[in-house]
With several copies, the nearest count.
Chain A
Amino acid sequence: MRVFLLQKSVNLQVTNLWIERGERDLCRDLSFSVRSGELVRIAGENGTGKSSLIKAILGWVRLEEGELEFNGEDVTLHRDVLLQNQLYLGHTPGIKSVFTALENLKLYCPEASEVALEQALAHVQLQAFADTPAAQLSAGQKRRIALARLWLTDKALWFLDEPFTALDVKGVEALELCMGAHLKNGGAIVITTHQPLLHLSPKTVELTL
């Protein structure tokens, strides 16, 4: 297996993307780029294909046409380099209900120290629930477990699909702060959200029906 260096610099070029789902074109000839320090918001109404676009970039939805380039390398066929350098949180963020908040976090961030883990949970206001099974948490608290990963990761490119779902106002605030810090550090973020961003000003990629 090849080992890839983690690169904090990001340059993702998406060219002429054509995605189809169930006989409908979701986008055609879509091109955009994501660079270090940039926040790209994929906008569009429900069902226009925002989630599908992210999944297509990650390689689970087929591209009818189009190219992807990550940091100068063509990744259209083999996404390995891209996958090594990104973090994805989707509509269902892979939280196991039998695990406690801490165990869930540990699964995805095995290198983090206990202290770092607890700090990350504190960032999302879950310190008191570290040892509660996820099944016994509220909807927002479950989402927060997944989001805590953002405070621990060293991946450069984040894909966040509706990260604000179920979060309260304070939670949204904290998440935006975290995203801002990541962008300052040379990271890049691709986000979809129907809620307006309060502090960050994104570059927008608009999808239409």
Chain B
Amino acid sequence: MNYRSFFKAEWLSLLRRKQDTLNALLFFVMVIILFPLGVDPSSEFLAPAAGGIIWCATALSVLMAVEGMYKEDFNDGSLEQWLTSGLSITYLVFLKVLVQWLMVIVPLLIVLPLLAQMLFLPFSALWVVMTSILLGTPALFFIGSIGAALTVSLRRGAVLMLLLILPLYIPVIIFATGAVRAAQLDMNYSGQLAILAAISLVALALSPIMAAISIRASVN
């Protein structure tokens, strides 16, 4: 095993199980459809709420996608093989998250314009939503990967740790929806986007290390 073969395999396995990717996408679509149905289908309600709804749906589907990302590797013994491969687990985690991110976020961005229409999001705000998703979701993925690593072995402390990790999603969502709302009100939103990018960068730098530690601890 080397980094390239690992990356290719991850890629292939996600392509094979297109479902996985589609899963997050469908979940996203589903949350977005549920809102008009469950709450209020009028454009007066939907248009101002659209950015928030889209971001909530994004966060939930990222969570869904990331939650079990190491489960199969744990069950079939792949994690043990990672550890004996002599490769850096931190980097393997990074690659895995990267693949996941691409596979989930790209399709999501493709269907977004259509769904945004269905929520009556003004066209001008669409670009801000897309940019915020591009900048913000890496943070969601990386933070989520720590949680996934923690829960993979079903250790007792895991739930607790999850409780600690989930709140980290909140700032991302607040800044992202803040940017969208600012855009809808014709205000400046570059500040929020910059913060989003900063959070993602920090998460990118720190999470693989944390996740690697958790993975190491979960194999025994």
Q: Which residues of A come within 8 Å of B, CB atoms?
A: 1, 4, 55, 58-61, 80, 83-84, 86-88, 90-99, 103, 106-108, 110-111, 135
Contact = CB atoms under 8 A, between A and B. Distances in A.
A186 to B, nearest CB: 20
Contacts of A87: 84
B117 interface: no
B76 A92 contact: yes
A92 B80 CA distance: 9
Interface stretch (B6-14, B49-57, B144-152): B6-14
Given A96-B76, A97-B155, A135-B155, A58 B84 contact: yes
9 contacts: A1-B88, A55-B220, A60-B216, A83-B86, A94-B76, A95-B76, A96-B78, A107-B5, A110-B1
A80 B86 contact: yes
B77 A93 contact: yes
A4 B1 CA distance: 15
Interface residues of B, number: 28
Contacts, number: 73
Interface string B76-97: 1110110111101000000000
B78 A61 contact: no
A84 B86 contact: yes
What is the predominant secondary structure among interface residues of chain B facing chain A?
A: helix
Contacts of A59: 83
Interface string B9-50: 100110011000000000000000000000000000000000
B190 interface: no
A117 to B, nearest CB: 12
A107 B9 contact: yes
B1 A107 contact: yes
Contacts of A83: 83-86
B219 A60 contact: yes
B78 A88 contact: no
B75 interface: yes
